[in-house]
Each structure stands twice: as C-alpha cells, then as structure tokens.
C-alpha cells in the first residue's frame, strides 16, 4: 500500500507547475482583455510563464519516454511531477533559458533530467528519449502558430497576437538548437547510439561545452543572421510574420516602456 501510494505521489502533478500554469493563464487573459494597466508586463509574465511550462513539458517528455523504455528511476526522482525544482540542474533547465529570452529573445535549450541509460535496451529507444524533448517544442510551436496558419486571428487583440508570435519564435529556436548534432544537445543524443564506442568516447569530454560552443558561434554576426533567417523561414511557413515577432519582443521588454500598438498590415 505504501509503495503504491508513493508511486502515485511520484507522478502527481506538482503544485509548483500548476501555479506556473495559473500565472500563465491569468496573465494571458489580462493580455487578451487589455485588462492590465501595463500590457508589456502582462506580455512578459504570459510569455515567460508559457515558456517555463514548455520547458517543464520538454523535460517531462524525456522522462516519460525513459520510463516506458525501462528506466523506472525517473519516478522516484520526481521528474514525472512536472516540478522544475526537481531537475538535476534547475539553473540550466529554467533560470538560464529565461535569462536568454530576456537578453536576446532566443529559446535556449533546457535539459537536466538524469536518465539511467544502463537500464534501457535498444538504440531506437535511446534515440527516441533524446528526441522526445525537442519534439515537444515542435508540438508547442504548432499549437502557438495554429491561429496563424488556420486564419483564425479575426478579432484577436493585436497585443495577444504579437505575444503568441514571440512565443512561437522561442519554440522554433529551441527546437532547432536542440536538434543540432552537437555533443550535450538532444540532437547528438539522437545520433549517439548509432556511433561506434570509440567515437563516443572521443566525443564525451566535449559534451559539457557543446551548448556554450553553440552560443559562442551564434555571436558571430554572419552565423546569427543565417540562423534567424532559417527561424524566420519556418515561422513564415507557419503564418507568423516578422512583424508579429518583432512587436512581440518589443512588448515583452516592458522595462523599455510600452510601445504604441501599430496597425497590423499584411506583408
């Protein structure tokens, strides 16, 4: 009985996560209804809350896939509760991604659930566990952009539209960065099971620095330009324009003051 109760507790949704969802919902309502006296602050809280929710779901997808692949330890570690405080590196999974959004409007890949890979058999399962996280970002991007590519934006307040566009940009950047085949990122995790033991051992020491290397390269103006051109191309295919993402970022940076809402013109 105690064991069964413990297992149910290991998978019960955390009040911390529910609180984040509640903040996201309330501030999203404030943006939609123009209830907030400072729409920029409401956009900031709405987008940041939704971004943290997506990070939690990203890590949950890794853990849930690992559970069904044979690693039953993820439950005891609290990964199935969606509580971001349970992650191995809460700084990497939550704090740094939010800081990078504030600094540059880019979706930093989170990532810090410890999977006991020795419990899992089969290369396909290992690859799927790594792919599950960024696929969650892909799904989140599809949901955020659905009103755009379904032409369902009639009557939607401009500020809410821009917030959705900026949130979609974060999800697309996170998905692209996560799928890069760089040691330490999920893209390499997908590829790694198919590499020889010798190659894996040679690459392993570089894994802790892979993410730092990616962001160092992104500071190169030419590379940064190519990267965001690719992001913009994906967003345009989903119906989101640069106009949407630009004003979404402007409203998000509420500390610069509330920008005047421009009249949307179809590009």
The C-alpha atoms of residue 22 and residue 133 are separated, in whole angstroms, by: 23
CA angle 51, 32, 261 (to 5 degrees): 95
Out of 59, 116, 192, 260, which one is annotated catalytic?
A: 59
The sign of the dihedral angle between the CA atoms of 119, 120, 126, 129 is negative
**Helices 15-33 and 39-69: crossing angle, nearest 10°?**
140
204 is catalytic: no
Q: Which residues 6+ apart lie within 8 Å of 57 measured at CB?
A: 82, 136, 140
The pair of three-digit structure tokens given for residue 132, joined into one six-digit string = 């599950």
DSSP-assigned states of every residue in 115-171:
--GGG---HHHHHHHHHHHHHHHHHHHHHHHHHHHTT--TT--HHHHHHHHHHHHHH
Residues known to be catalytic: 59
């Amino acid at each position: 009985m105690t064991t069964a109760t413990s297992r149910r507790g290991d998978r019960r949704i955390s009040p911390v996560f529910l609180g984040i969802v509640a903040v996201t919902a309330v501030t999203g309502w404030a943006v939609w209804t123009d209830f907030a006296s400072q729409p920029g602050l409401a956009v900031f809280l709405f987008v940041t809350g939704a971004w943290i929710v997506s990070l939690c779901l990203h890590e949950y997808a890794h853990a849930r896939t690992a559970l069904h692949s044979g690693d039953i330890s993820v439950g005891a570690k609290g990964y199935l509760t969606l509580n971001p405080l349970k992650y191995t590196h809460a700084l990497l999974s939550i704090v740094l991604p939010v800081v990078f959004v504030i600094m540059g409007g880019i979706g930093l890949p989170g990532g810090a659930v410890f999977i006991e890979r020795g419990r899992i058999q089969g290369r396909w399962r290992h690859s799927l566990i790594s792919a599950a996280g960024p696929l969650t970002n892909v799904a989140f991007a599809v949901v955020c952009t659905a009103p755009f590519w379904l032409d369902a934006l009639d009557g939607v307040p401009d500020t809410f539209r821009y917030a959705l566009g900026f949130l979609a940009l974060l999800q697309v950047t996170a998905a692209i960065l996560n799928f890069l085949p760089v040691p330490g990122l999920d893209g390499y995790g997908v590829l790694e099971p198919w590499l020889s033991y010798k190659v894996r051992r040679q690459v392993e020491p570089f894994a802790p620095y892979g993410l730092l290397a990616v962001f160092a390269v992104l500071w190169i103006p030419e590379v940064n330009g190519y990267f965001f051109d690719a992001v913009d191309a994906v967003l345009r295919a989903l119906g989101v324009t640069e106009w949407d993402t630009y004003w979404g970022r402007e409203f998000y940076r509420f500390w610069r003051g509330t920008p005047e809402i421009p009249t949307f013109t179809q590009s």
